[in-house]
Amino acid sequence: MPSSTKRILAKYTPQYIEKEVLIEGFVQARRDHGKLVFIDLRDHSGLVQVVFNPQVSEKAYEIASELRPEFAVSIIGKVNKRPERLINPKLESGTVELEALELEILSKAETLPFDMGGEVLSLELPTLLDFRALTLRHGSVKPIFIVQASILEGFRNICQKLDCVEIVVPTIAASATEGGAEVFKVNYYDHKAFMTQSPQLYKQMLVPVLERVFTIAHAYRAEPSVTTRHLSETTQMDCEFGFVNFENLLDLLEISAVEMLKHVEKNCKALLKEFKMEPIAFGKIPRLTLREAQEIIFKEYKRDNRSEKDLTPQDEVDLSKWALKKHNSDFVTVTHFPTSKRAFYTMPDPKNPEYSLSYDLLFKGVEILSGSQRINDHDKLVSAIKERGMNPADYKMFLMAFKYGMPPEGGFSFGLERITMKLLGLNNIREASLFPRDMERVDERFSRSEEKEKVFQKKKD
Amino acid sequence: MPSSTKRILAKYTPQYIEKEVLIEGFVQARRDHGKLVFIDLRDHSGLVQVVFNPQVSEKAYEIASELRPEFAVSIIGKVNKRPERLINPKLESGTVELEALELEILSKAETLPFDMGGEVLSLELPTLLDFRALTLRHGSVKPIFIVQASILEGFRNICQKLDCVEIVVPTIAASATEGGAEVFKVNYYDHKAFMTQSPQLYKQMLVPVLERVFTIAHAYRAEPSVTTRHLSETTQMDCEFGFVNFENLLDLLEISAVEMLKHVEKNCKALLKEFKMEPIAFGKIPRLTLREAQEIIFKEYKRDNRSEKDLTPQDEVDLSKWALKKHNSDFVTVTHFPTSKRAFYTMPDPKNPEYSLSYDLLFKGVEILSGSQRINDHDKLVSAIKERGMNPADYKMFLMAFKYGMPPEGGFSFGLERITMKLLGLNNIREASLFPRDMERVDERFSRSEEKEKVFQKKKD
């Protein structure tokens, strides 16, 4: 191809009627109609139809006959208006087609292991993931990650409005972030180290430095279970604020969630429609304590979980239904979880220390955010660490921030993949991660002995 | 404090003359002058002077006498204009002071281990890092990370202008990204796994999906050395582009670097001045092959490195001096490194396969970016893997992306901490990382036996 010709994108072809243009992309489909070959060419802007006519270019026509799906090609052609009856209203370029003058194959593709041409990709999840490098290209999969990018952007936008400074915190740490056994060990120059379970301790340490911070961080949980809602490596969107009280924090988390998702709805309107999602219900978000929430579950759904220490997955689903019906809200804020069920840095409620100044935000039936007011007194924090059977010496750097003055503070953490999943109505969180990590897979599935298989099936929920 | 009073920030106090306001922050310094106590109060907007007069509030005055640096406090006071001769032009709030009516201590601080009150923090690097949770608060340290946040923002802005979609890629992988031994091992549910040396392979796989992508990712290198330019966990800012040639890539990397740093210069003008940095020289960036660069080093600096396979650190410094002098550019692009010295996915130059279509970007004497045109042919890629003694089976998912059609593509990767370091004239990359990781430290220094100490001293450069 003459490198002097500037490539244009598929969706702009209608602006070049009767002109010669260069387009580059992938063969989405080929159709042979007697003495003509048609292809749908896909680039990152969309599709355009290309016709190869031996009368126009014998050579291009011949090469075109070799084309198969996913060949990468470069084409020079003339943009022709389509006759009225052949206009394709589903395509941005549907009023035109490209008459090929030259064709170059940039990269061949093997025959695909399954049909990628349909609107739906009918594959079981394991196959979808086994062929991830291929299946991500499908029109029903790729948009998930365009929406995900928009969530990230929406999050950062609201953080900036809230005066938060972006921070980059490490993921290798000398001790487990939140205690517990569910942590990955790293061999760090012959020292023992861990992958952080969250950016929590680091963002807290930054409060006396920058006061309001945010970070988008990877978090690692070695949970020995396989559910539709958990991954071993996830993406957290975290904020932390100094000089705030519990009420401020509830306001901040709700405004963050709402503004972030309004951004996505505005910027991904067409894609959300493709996923057949109803507009998000942005009614005033109800705030319930855990016990109030459990009362509602008892009254409205006849399940008595009033002494449980947490919401069950079904409680989360039902509470969200209730909030939508009663408050026209796809969100519910639940507060005051038992202190013993939350991480050591969570502030107990001074009015009743059995419960804590903690919160979760539910969205369409699942928890997408978690957080709390934090203990900001050094000595109380040391006590809380000891009470959980942990060693304050393992938290030396963290405790230093409190030793030298820590104002009232708190924050929260959104789960990116969970938001993506619920926003698009996906069934499994693995569909919301480009390359999901869990106990059975790192890109490829691990092979399992029969014995391991038994243990595995048991741990599945 | 009455929660109804809305807190205002220090820098806005001059807008509230004669009014009562609530301010909250940290005690930067306390000065006792006879029957008056003065404090400099610091919040995330800056400083404001507060005066405690027993005639105004005996109680506030008494509490104020207890204050020490880094106490977190909440103060209600009246904003008074300062007399002309007492105006402090260095402070945004320098035309006023706050006369305290009420004072509440939110959090006490232990006596600091060293003076934090001066403009300079005169500590050796190990001490600076041993007390990281404290030293980050200092006025000479904190701005480094405000500038760093601006670099991240500048990078994302140019990525968006270049039509790149943000992706989130995993950091736990089943095989070493680029081969080599310098990789951290993770115990992953009893399977062997590795921390990714870069997001490289994943961003490449996304090219047929989204065509143009960017990611800000952690990268892990278990290099057994301690230099002023290397960390074990770093932050990379990566782009990857499909349907591009080598020339396009050189244009793209240069526009990215320039636009990113122009953004920082615009948004952090005052901070860059505090670091006494000259404005960045944005003259046309010279492009040299490695051999051309070595010729210049030979001619101008009398060192004959013309058969070396890479630039030496001193070469990088001298080339940057040359570029500034000859081209008024703080950047130099160096291309065509020997194929054998670059990663397996690097495209050899078809005109002379001994050299590759690779590039580094130097900025003020150090490499801040690296990248290349990639091999996009499946079979050639398999050969390249084998030639390096690696096993293509370890790259199954990566190779799948090439099996099903990969257009010409390439990209690059910026090192966030290195850019921060050079932009602010810092001596050591550790100063450019909030919580730096290296072979001797994860927050706290590892204890070392005498024997290990010897090995360590040897490996230091």
Domain residue ranges in chain B: 10-107, 135-459
CB–CB contact A397 B133 (8 Å): yes
Catalytic residues of A: 221, 223, 229-230, 367, 370, 418
b (16+ CB within 10 A) / e for B244-278? bebebbbebbbebbbbbbebbbebbeebbeeeebe
CB–CB contact B442 A193 (8 Å): yes
Angle between the N-to-C axes of helices B142-161 and B416-424, in degrees from 0 to 180, rounded to the nearest 10? 120
What ipTM was predicted for this assembly? 0.95
Residue A70: CB partners within 8 Å, gap ≥ 6?
A: A26, A27, A109, A112, A116, A134, A137, B208, B404, B405
> Any idea which architecture B135-459 has in CATH?
2-Layer Sandwich (3.30)
Residue pairs between chains A and B whose CB atoms are closer than 8 Å: 267
d(CA A326, nearest CA chain B) in Å: 30
Write down the pTM of the prediction: 0.96
Q: For residue B454, what pLDDT is reported?
A: 58
Residue B39: CB partners within 8 Å, gap ≥ 6?
A: B27, B28, B29, B30, B31, B49, B50, B52, B64, B67
Catalytic residues of B: 221, 223, 229-230, 367, 370, 418
Q: pLDDT truncated to tens, each residue of chain A (461 aa)?
A: 444 578 999 999 999 999 999 999 999 999 999 899 999 999 999 999 999 999 999 999 999 999 999 999 999 999 999 999 999 998 999 999 999 999 999 999 999 999 998 889 999 999 999 999 999 999 999 999 999 999 999 999 999 999 999 999 999 998 876 766 689 999 999 898 999 999 999 999 999 999 999 999 999 999 887 889 899 999 999 999 999 999 999 999 999 999 999 999 999 999 999 999 999 999 999 999 999 999 999 999 999 999 999 999 999 999 999 999 999 999 999 999 999 999 999 999 999 999 999 999 999 999 999 999 999 999 999 999 999 999 999 999 999 999 999 999 999 999 999 999 999 999 999 999 999 999 999 999 987 655 555 555 555 54
Segments of chain B scoring below 50 in pLDDT: 1-3, 461
Residue in chain A lying closest to B140 (CA): A209
Residue in A109, A112, A136 closest to B209 by CB: A136
Residues of A in contact with B393 (CB under 8 A): none
Domain A142-459: homologous superfamily in CATH: Bira Bifunctional Protein; Domain 2 (3.30.930.10)
Residues of B in contact with A403 (CB under 8 A): 109-110
d(CA A193, nearest CA chain B) in Å: 8
Residues of A in contact with B149 (CB under 8 A): 165-167
Q: For residue B2, what pLDDT is reported?
A: 46
The token duo for A239 is 């904020």
Residue in chain B lying closest to A166 (CA): B149
Residue in chain A lying closest to B107 (CA): A405
Residue in A165, A224, A376 closest to B146 by CB: A165
Residue in A72, A208, A218 closest to B407 by CB: A72
CATH number belonging to the domain at A10-107, selected among 1.20.1050.10, 2.40.50.140, 3.40.1130.10, 3.40.50.10860 = 2.40.50.140
CA terminus-to-terminus distance, chain A: 55
Is there a common fold for A10-107 and A142-459?
no
Distance CA A361, CA A371 (A): 9
Q: For residue A262, what pLDDT is reported?
A: 98
* Residues β-bridged to residue B261: none
d(CA B97, nearest CA chain A) in Å: 21
Distances (CA, A) of A187 to B57, B170, B194, B433: 59, 19, 10, 22
Q: For residue B3, what pLDDT is reported?
A: 47
Distance CA A313, CA A364 (A): 12
Q: For residue A113, what pLDDT is reported?
A: 97
d(CA B185, nearest CA chain A) in Å: 6
CB–CB contact A243 B24 (8 Å): yes
* Residues β-bridged to residue B40: B29, B49
Q: Considering only CA atoms, which of B46, B41, B431 is closest in space to residue B271?
A: B46
Residues of B in contact with A242 (CB under 8 A): 44
CB–CB contact B206 A132 (8 Å): no
